[in-house]
Amino acid sequence: MLKNCRIPLAKNTIDDIRRQLLDAAAFGKHVTPEQLEHMARKLADTMQTLADESTECPIMLAR
């Protein structure tokens, strides 16, 4: 069963990071190096989650 599948949360995290970067680019908002580092680390962790979970919850990748 898919009771503990983390893929939806990982996809939401990626969307959040994408929105933050688009907001900064579109409206000229300043993003500090520390903020970029945090986003990069969060993105790397999320990508690892997707890689780990893809074998356990493959049906969720299509959504």
Q: Give Cβ neighbours of residue 60 (< 8 Å, ≥ 6 apart).
A: 2, 5, 7, 8, 53
Q: What is the pLDDT of residue 48?
A: 93
Q: Give Cβ neighbours of residue 11 (< 8 Å, ≥ 6 apart).
A: none
Model pLDDT for residues 6-51, shown as the tens digit of each residue: 888 999 999 999 999 999 999 999 999 999 999 999 999 999 998 8
pLDDT band at 5 (very low <50, low <70, confident <90, very high): confident
Q: Is the pLDDT of residue 1 over 50?
A: no
pTM for this entry: 0.77
